[in-house]
Amino acid sequence: MSPLTITGRDTTTGPVVEVVGDLDYAHATALRQQVERLTLRPGQRLVVDLASLEFCDSSGITALLAARQHAQAAGADIVLSGVPTNTLRVLTIVGLDRVFTIRPDAATA
């Protein structure tokens, strides 16, 4: 298991949150709390960069859905970028690839 590291930065279009390590039951709350602290404005885009994500379980998926809900409540968009193949497969199986906008990397998000 890899510890979870979450870093954020602001861009002209909105915040980028980079998730590194394991987004699992033990760590998903940290992502939820980090995203809930973000002040989003209508028209902004929240990018969740998952390029360095090593593992994601159902708790991690739930945290991503909570991030989406937070963005939508503020009138902002959310984009998942750099989604690892194994996580993308799970998102596709459960139909969340149609719920989230998914981009290859944060630069194209």
CATH number at residue 95: 3.30.750.24
Q: Distance between CA 19 and CA 33 in Å, rounded?
A: 13
Q: Distance between CA 34 and CA 85 in Å, rounded?
A: 24
Residue-wise pLDDT tens for the chain (109 aa)?
A: 678 999 999 999 999 999 999 999 999 999 999 999 999 999 999 999 999 999 999 999 999 999 999 999 999 999 999 999 999 999 999 999 999 999 999 888 8
pTM value is 0.95
CB under 8 Å to 93, separation ≥6 — which residues?
none
Q: How many domains does the chain have?
A: 1
Domain of residue 103, residue span: 5-108
